[in-house]
Structure formats: C-alpha cells, structure tokens
Structure 1
Amino acid sequence: MTGRHDLSDMAWAVIAPLLPNKPRGVARVDDRRVISGIFYILRTGAPWRDLPQR
C-alpha cells in the first residue's frame, strides 16, 4: 500500500537511473524510500522528526 506522498512507479522510473549504483562504505538503504521521505517533507513542510516510520 502506498501513501499519497509516495512516488509513483512512473516518477521512480525517471529518477532511478540518475542515482548512483556502486556501493561505497556503509550499505545503502532503499533509495525509493529515502526520496519519498524527502518529497514528503518538501510537500508538507513538516519537521524531519515528524516523518512517518513507513
């Protein structure tokens, strides 16, 4: 289930190729989840501490 602020599959298809794909240092978390969180904060204006856990 996706929330209303989550990236659509179409938007992710555009963004995904632009992200780095070579691992360096610490293991990366799910890029789609991170980008969705950033867009959520930008759209809502909420502080980072109020970001939902999902």
Structure 2
Amino acid sequence: MKAGKANDRGPTADNRMFIEAVLWIARTGSPWRDLPKGFGKWNSVFQRYRRWSKAGRFTRIFEEISGEADMEYAMIDGSIVKVHRHGQGAKGGP
C-alpha cells in the first residue's frame, strides 16, 4: 500500500492516518460521528472507508497480511528451570 500524497487532502491523503482511524472505529465500536478530530472529518473518513470496502481493498490487504507466516525468524523458548528438591513431587500416599 502506498503511503499517500503528503499535500493532498483528497482520496490519496495519508493512508496511515486513515487506517488508524478505521482501526480506532473497529477497536472502540464507536459510531463514525464520534471519530476524534485528529483523524480528520468523520464523514470524509467514512466515505473513503465505503469506497475502499466496495472496491475490495480491505479484503486484499487482509489476504496479503494474513498469508503464510515466515518461520525463518520464529523463536522457541528453550528455558530450563530447576525445581527445588522438595518441590519435585509429594512422596508417600494412602
């Protein structure tokens, strides 16, 4: 996804801020009218959201980021912790 044009207030404006606004709505469950002013005019953000939804842009983004995980950098914690000798299990029984 392109970063957007810095000086454009139209449909190619800051994509990062737009995505943050959509995530804020999804996270809070608030109506669009309650979108904080720092994200821009709520109606402009909503109209852009509708355009992207109808065009399938979110579907393509989610498909791209939810692809198969790159396991090259996966880490496994191999810590070994010794147990106190009295904590190895109860002896005896009935």
TM-score (norm 2): 0.31
Report how many aligned residue pairs link the two structures: 33
> Could you list the runs of 5+ residues in structure 2 that have no partner in the other structure?
39-94
- Superposition misfits of 4+ residues, deviation over 3 angstroms: none
Deviation of 1:29 after TM superposition, in Å, equals 1.0
> Could you list the runs of 5+ residues in structure 1 that have no partner in the other structure?
1-18
Matches for 1:11-50 after TM superposition, within 5 Å: 19-20=1-2, 27-50=11-34
Which residue number corresponds to residue 11 of structure 1?
Answer: none
Alpha-carbon RMSD across the aligned residues, in angstroms, is 2.1
Which residue number corresponds to residue 59 of structure 2?
Answer: none
Q: Work out which of the two has the higher radius of gyration on C-alpha atoms and give 1 or 2.
A: 2
SS of match in other structure, 2:37? coil
TM-score (norm 1): 0.51
Q: Percent identity?
A: 39
